[in-house]
Structure 1
Amino acid sequence: MSDLGFDKASVPTPPTTEPVLAVSDLKTSFQTKTGWIEIVKGISFEIGARETLCVVGESGSGKSVTALSIMRLLDPTSSRLRGSVKLSGRELLTLPEPQMREVRGRQIGMIFQEALTSLNPLATVGNQIAETLVIHGQMEGAAAQAEAVRMLEKVRIPAAKARANELPHNLSGGMRQRVMIAMALACKPQLLIADEPTTALDVTIQAQILQLIKQLQQEEGMGVLFITHDMGVVAEIADRTVVMLGGQVVEQGSTDQIFNAAQSSYTKTLIAAVPRLGSMKGNGQPEHFSVVDRKTGVLRVSEPRPDTVDHQSPPVLSVKNLVKRFDLGASFFGKVHGRVHAVENVSFDLMAGETLSLVGESGCGKSTTGRAIMRLTEPQSGQISIDGQDIMAMDRDRMRDMRRNIQMIFQDPFASLNPRIRVGEAVAEPYLTHKLGTRQQARAKVAELLEQVGLDPDVANRYPAQFSGGQRQRICVARALSLEPKVIVADESVSGLDVSIKAQVVNLLLDLQQKYGLSYLFISHDMAVVERMSHKVAVMYLGEIVEMGPAAAVFKNPQHPYTKRLIAAVPIPDPSRRNQLRQVVADEIKSPIRPADFVPPERTYTTVSPGHVVQDWDENWKV
């Protein structure tokens, strides 16, 4: 996708004519048992044609509610909108609902955060795009189907005609998000609202989506309202930025002004907390993020901590030649037609007090490696030892006891919390199951853990559905810490958190590591966080480790083409680079599915520097 960047001279200046969207003194209230509560408190902004406005702030600041208010997608029986929202001078808040339905999709397109839950799982993606065209009277029948394929081609989906006949679950996360963009743009809207469209995506897919939105915006002349908590993405895409806190605008201006001359202390805090790739100093060891103390309002800028890894003792976790494959297409007679080679011959050691990060795109085998180590999925072969004990030979009871020493923070916090029990009970459950104390002691422990992860202890009586996604992830971190394990497998544990909350949780993990000598297997696609957290980094591609070594060595001197691709795709929080040409590869990662009789080739590795090894590849290697 080398043609998706733009030189500064090629980006037109936003017009001075009537804005595409003008929001004035917008107030949104919700009805509760105690009365009306105002969530959005009188915000105002404008967006011009070919202009991108980013609304940034933490969970609960009112960003998504603002977008839903503009679209009038809130339940009118329990919500109330006041103020003015004008689309090309036409007031939307007083528009009759039948006319507002015509505006949605036709004049305003919206991309939601989670594409899989926004798409009909029982309809092909081509039919869903065609349906949008039919509903809005753009075209019908074969013409609509043909236009759906053209839109899929426009958003750079390979083999678009074939992909149009596939169901959403057959596509990768990046492909599904592109389908959502195609659907949102099918009727050529004047305004595109993108609500956290890249939060859950791999760094390379995120780069593709951002470049795609920028190009389509120039081609179609639309305004873009981009909602995010990622300041790196803001710098990458926004012409102007609105910073929200507690339902109010605390600062707005050009993105250059926001980053280089912020006036609000909250804005300064958000920017200071942004992890910047390549900003490591000193000996390259993990350092703390800048983070605001919410009680005092003071920004804490911690010095890099010393290396606490004990390199002389045996590893606390040792993985040798780990293999995990999933059989496909077993017939009535039990014949297997193919296999997913999810983890292939993976080996590494994790020392006490050390963080090893597994990085790579979705489908590379990171999460499967973590689950296989926990024996939540049984590997085909390999050796896994914790404190010298071979866990592959343990029965169910012994393995349950062993899990006190190794805990996992799962990628999806909502799926890993029981929606029917209060979060205090969820955090206390491992503590009580392993009989580490009385119920009274468990309550005290829960209060302590919730406070450590930035939550008020009083929330222990609430249910998971009453929390934001970021808050639920913090609850899962607290639960994993309740047993004081030696090893924590953190599977994308901070990927969905706001930048300042992410900084707090990462700092918490670093502090606990320093205090208790904890070891982390940190699974992530956030390369800037990985650089800060890690002592060592292992880059995975198609189930194999293609490069591994000290974090400083891998980031400063990447050797494998895939490692270089990952690092090049990281958004840089520098608005001066916003309109520079980005070299982004549009290819999808290859499939890990192999024929049943496939025998993996023997791999050879070259040592680049002490502890830094890279898998050998030939000149024809391609992602």
Structure 2
Amino acid sequence: MSMGISGANQVIADTQSPVLSVSGLTTSFIREREWIPVVRNVSFDIAPRETVAIVGESGSGKSVTALSIMRLIPKESGRIEGRVTLAGRELLALPEADMKDIRGNDVAMIFQEPMTSLNPVLTIGFQIAEALVQHRGLSRVAAEAETIRLLDRVRIPAAKARFHEHPHRFSGGMRQRVMIAMALACKPKLLIADEPTTALDVTIQAQILELLKELQREEGMSILFITHDMGVVAEIADRTVVMYGGQAVETDAIARIFAAPAHNYTRALLAAVPRLGSMDGRARPMRFPIVDKVTGTSDEPAETPDTVSTAERPLLEVAGLTTRFPIRSGLFGKVSGRVHAVENVSFTLRAGETLALVGESGCGKSTTGRSILKLTEPDAGTVLIDGQDVLAMNGRTLRDFRKHMQIVFQDPFASLNPRMSVGTAIAAPLLANGLATASQARDKVADLLVRVGLTADMAARFPHEFSGGQRQRICIARALALGPKLIVADEAVSALDVSVKAQVVNLMLDLQAGMGLAYLFISHDIAVVERMSHRVAVMYLGEIVEIGPRASVFGNPQHPYTKKLMAAVPVPDPSRRGTRREAANDEIRSPVRAPDYQPPVRQYREVSPGHVVQVWGEEWSADN
């Protein structure tokens, strides 16, 4: 049996039987009266206290493998073959009643999106206590006490007071902690974590990973961790199973996987992983290396050409931008507070330049982008594009001017009409603005599809016929249709697999070099930002706390929040796995203020040419 890389795990693997043994697992789904295998002949073991990661892109079979182990594949449409043994007990042969007892008791599972796993009408305390009553036979009083202990264990602040709160009152990171508490309620032998950190900000992700490692040390449980992020794999796994096309193409200790990957697909995954610090000494953005998944051949990326305009006046000038949302309550809708989403934000952006806005969810990044395009009405400030005041425009004037500024959203499927062919979607802005005839629009669509790396004949297809990365390329093509000067990319690559993310980033850099586009690149992925930006602005609670050239901000971060963000980025280096980080339980503070709140006047200092940092006070003490 393969062994983990840590000494403790090695001894255990040598002396004890595996907690979980999967042999020849094949899962098929019926389609048009034919069984189609989506997981084929997968085998691996998990030793006591060991963490095994299943890694691969969307559609590789990772989650289906986990659902098959739990026997959560519908019998009407799915079929599971092979052997799955838990502590010597064959799961696939058990009656469903016995399997129900194992789920949540001996094997627990946490999913990617906790809000879909929690009942929104029940309190989180009741939901955890219910598992304790059902599986451990505790009384309601004892279950409540144990639930509070579990919430304390996963570092939910004021656990006793929050026992009776509903899921919507918790942030994404705190909801994931609730799911971990629920999973641990019955002290399982095996925890299956299916993409548990993918939807989380980088700082919250670091907290969850550290929490899982600490709980594993204390509880002695084994973990099957499913992800597409090789940086996360390096942080948490002892061994890795690499899946591609429903098959396990490589299985090895994590150190060997990273040092000498045997399969071309593994090499392609590793090559696409953004590594913070890889841009040291480079002034301009740089394309990702792309490794062919079949042949293993790789291109040699170079720095992109210098595209930043030297014109005296920037393309985009933002000054004192402020956007607040009123909170109304009571019978007459009186304003009881305001969300200070964007507070006195100022910056410039030149043609051919990429300015990245980074920060956690809720910091005001997306609202800043939407306010600049006047998709959200700001309360104050000025936004000039080519010297023209966007915020002063209305009606037809604004609609006509919007051809100079476009936006690409995070979820491409939600951005496209499922009943409209992609060719029609791309042609729509051309026809709506009277910029082309139907024949000219068809030619333009064909040209745009080729430009974004697709083919002209794809214009007749519908969104569901494309992968996530292809759909994002279609959204980029639609944004380019009107020949804009500025594109706001709002988390445009966050939902993509690592290799697809690299391809889309490379496409954006190529388009910028060829067309002189200016990008406002909104993201919480610091490593990707380092790869593609010229300048970086760090946002916290609606304010820019640090801004400057990318090399200066990342090479010499000054603000404590910038340092916190950078320290949380997972490093794809297994040798650093033993480095223990504190699993802080702090969340981003609330931007809600009283109706009469007046924000303080901020002071800034220049660290180096163009690198400016907000002067911070006691709120950023050493223990923040």
TM-score range, shorter chain: over 0.9
Deviation, structure 1 residue 440: 5.1
| CA 1:293–1:508: 2 relative to 1, 3 Å | farther
1:103-126 CA-to-partner distances (Å, cap 9, x unmatched) read 221121111111122222222211
Letter in 1 for 2:411: D
Give the structure 1 partner of residue 193 of structure 2.
194
**3-state DSSP class of the match of 1:301?**
coil
**3-state DSSP class of the match of 1:120?**
coil
Deviation, structure 1 residue 88: 1.1
| CA 1:154–1:386: 2 relative to 1, 3 Å | same
2:147 pairs with 1:139: no
| CA 1:453–1:104: 2 relative to 1, 3 Å | farther
| CA 1:512–1:294: 2 relative to 1, 3 Å | farther
**3-state DSSP class of the match of 2:18?**
coil
Give the structure 1 partner of residue 116 of structure 2.
117
Deviation, structure 1 residue 218: 1.4
Deviation, structure 1 residue 202: 0.8
Give the structure 2 partner of residue 212 of structure 1.
211
Deviation, structure 1 residue 32: 1.1
Give the structure 1 partner of residue 251 of structure 2.
252
| CA 1:249–1:460: 2 relative to 1, 3 Å | farther
Give the structure 2 partner of residue 353 of structure 1.
352
Deviation, structure 1 residue 427: 3.7
Give the structure 1 partner of residue 183 of structure 2.
184
Give the structure 2 partner of residue 381 of structure 1.
380
Letter in 1 for 2:485: K
Between the aligned partners of 1:249 and 1:458, the Cα distance in structure 2 is 34
- Which segments of 5 or more consecutive residues in structure 2 lack a partner in the other structure? none
Give the structure 2 partner of residue 150 of structure 1.
149
Between the aligned partners of 2:519 and 2:304, the Cα distance in structure 1 is 16
Between the aligned partners of 2:537 and 2:237, the Cα distance in structure 1 is 33
Contact 1:453–1:504, Cα closer than 8 Å, also in 2: no
Per mean C-alpha deviation after superposition, the further-off stretch among 343-352 and 576-585 is: 576-585
**3-state DSSP class of the match of 1:214?**
helix
Letter in 2 for 1:512: L
2:518 pairs with 1:519: yes
Deviation, structure 1 residue 317: 1.5
2:62 pairs with 1:63: yes
Give the structure 2 partner of residue 406 of structure 1.
405
Between the aligned partners of 1:514 and 1:343, the Cα distance in structure 2 is 31
Between the aligned partners of 2:62 and 2:268, the Cα distance in structure 1 is 18
| CA 1:381–1:431: 2 relative to 1, 3 Å | same
1:406-434 CA-to-partner distances (Å, cap 9, x unmatched) read 11122333433334444444344334333
Contact 2:288–2:502, Cα closer than 8 Å, also in 1: yes
TM-score normalised by the chain length of structure 2: 0.94
Deviation, structure 1 residue 390: 0.8
| CA 1:454–1:259: 2 relative to 1, 3 Å | farther
Give the structure 2 partner of residue 4 of structure 1.
none
Contact 1:603–1:615, Cα closer than 8 Å, also in 2: yes
| CA 1:20–1:424: 2 relative to 1, 3 Å | farther
Contact 1:8–1:579, Cα closer than 8 Å, also in 2: no
Contact 1:329–1:338, Cα closer than 8 Å, also in 2: yes
Between the aligned partners of 1:612 and 1:206, the Cα distance in structure 2 is 28
1:15 to 13, 38, 48: 13
Between the aligned partners of 1:119 and 1:192, the Cα distance in structure 2 is 18
Between the aligned partners of 1:75 and 1:20, the Cα distance in structure 2 is 25
Contact 2:125–2:163, Cα closer than 8 Å, also in 1: yes
Contact 1:8–1:580, Cα closer than 8 Å, also in 2: no
**3-state DSSP class of the match of 2:109?**
strand
Contact 1:199–1:495, Cα closer than 8 Å, also in 2: no
1:459-480 CA-to-partner distances (Å, cap 9, x unmatched) read 6555545666555444433433
Contact 1:11–1:579, Cα closer than 8 Å, also in 2: no
Give the structure 2 partner of residue 3 of structure 1.
none
| CA 1:192–1:466: 2 relative to 1, 3 Å | farther
Per mean C-alpha deviation after superposition, the further-off stretch among 117-126 and 603-612 is: 117-126
**3-state DSSP class of the match of 1:304?**
coil
Between the aligned partners of 2:473 and 2:12, the Cα distance in structure 1 is 41
1:297-318 CA-to-partner distances (Å, cap 9, x unmatched) read 6311211123210132422211
| CA 1:279–1:426: 2 relative to 1, 3 Å | same
| CA 1:430–1:170: 2 relative to 1, 3 Å | farther
1:429-474 CA-to-partner distances (Å, cap 9, x unmatched) read 3343334444455455555555655667666555545666555444
1:485-509 CA-to-partner distances (Å, cap 9, x unmatched) read 2111111111121111111000000
Between the aligned partners of 1:465 and 1:182, the Cα distance in structure 2 is 36
Letter in 1 for 2:144: Q
**3-state DSSP class of the match of 1:299?**
coil
**3-state DSSP class of the match of 1:284?**
coil
**3-state DSSP class of the match of 1:102?**
helix
Give the structure 1 partner of residue 159 of structure 2.
160
**3-state DSSP class of the match of 1:332?**
coil
1:346-391 CA-to-partner distances (Å, cap 9, x unmatched) read 0011110110111111111111111111222111111112221111
Per mean C-alpha deviation after superposition, the further-off stretch among 376-385 and 451-460 is: 451-460
Give the structure 2 partner of residue 223 of structure 1.
222
Letter in 1 for 2:118: L
2:100 pairs with 1:101: yes
Letter in 2 for 1:488: I
Give the structure 1 partner of residue 590 of structure 2.
591
Between the aligned partners of 2:79 and 2:231, the Cα distance in structure 1 is 34
**3-state DSSP class of the match of 1:404?**
helix
2:76 pairs with 1:72: no
1:17-48 CA-to-partner distances (Å, cap 9, x unmatched) read 11111111111111112622111111111111
Letter in 2 for 1:591: S
| CA 1:295–1:214: 2 relative to 1, 3 Å | closer
Letter in 1 for 2:81: R
Deviation, structure 1 residue 293: 4.8
Deviation, structure 1 residue 137: 4.2
Between the aligned partners of 2:437 and 2:414, the Cα distance in structure 1 is 28
**3-state DSSP class of the match of 1:587?**
coil
Deviation, structure 1 residue 234: 0.7
Give the structure 2 partner of residue 530 of structure 1.
529
Between the aligned partners of 1:182 and 1:422, the Cα distance in structure 2 is 45
Per mean C-alpha deviation after superposition, the further-off stretch among 323-332 and 74-83 is: 323-332
Deviation, structure 1 residue 215: 0.8
What's the C-alpha RMSD, in Å, of the aligned pairs?
2.3
Letter in 2 for 1:186: A
**3-state DSSP class of the match of 1:123?**
coil
| CA 1:312–1:230: 2 relative to 1, 3 Å | same
Per mean C-alpha deviation after superposition, the further-off stretch among 68-77 and 535-544 is: 68-77
Per mean C-alpha deviation after superposition, the further-off stretch among 452-461 and 481-490 is: 452-461
Deviation, structure 1 residue 327: 1.2
**3-state DSSP class of the match of 2:588?**
coil
| CA 1:156–1:40: 2 relative to 1, 3 Å | same
Letter in 1 for 2:154: V
Letter in 2 for 1:338: G
In the TM superposition, 1:158-557 aligns within 5 A as 158-293=157-292, 298-439=297-438, 442-443=441-442, 445-446=444-445, 449-450=448-449, 463-464=462-463, 469=468, 472-557=471-556
Between the aligned partners of 2:618 and 2:66, the Cα distance in structure 1 is 48
Per mean C-alpha deviation after superposition, the further-off stretch among 595-604 and 175-184 is: 175-184
**3-state DSSP class of the match of 1:336?**
strand
Between the aligned partners of 1:185 and 1:280, the Cα distance in structure 2 is 41
Q: In the comparison of the two structures, how many residue pairs are matched?
A: 617
Per mean C-alpha deviation after superposition, the further-off stretch among 434-443 and 400-409 is: 434-443
Per mean C-alpha deviation after superposition, the further-off stretch among 413-422 and 230-239 is: 413-422
Deviation, structure 1 residue 560: 0.5
1:578-602 CA-to-partner distances (Å, cap 9, x unmatched) read 1112245331121111111111010
| CA 1:197–1:460: 2 relative to 1, 3 Å | farther
Contact 2:211–2:583, Cα closer than 8 Å, also in 1: no
Deviation, structure 1 residue 284: 2.6
| CA 1:595–1:264: 2 relative to 1, 3 Å | same
Between the aligned partners of 1:52 and 1:408, the Cα distance in structure 2 is 41
**3-state DSSP class of the match of 2:547?**
strand
TM-score normalised by the chain length of structure 1: 0.94
Contact 1:320–1:346, Cα closer than 8 Å, also in 2: yes
Identity, in percent, stands at 64
Contact 1:40–1:247, Cα closer than 8 Å, also in 2: yes
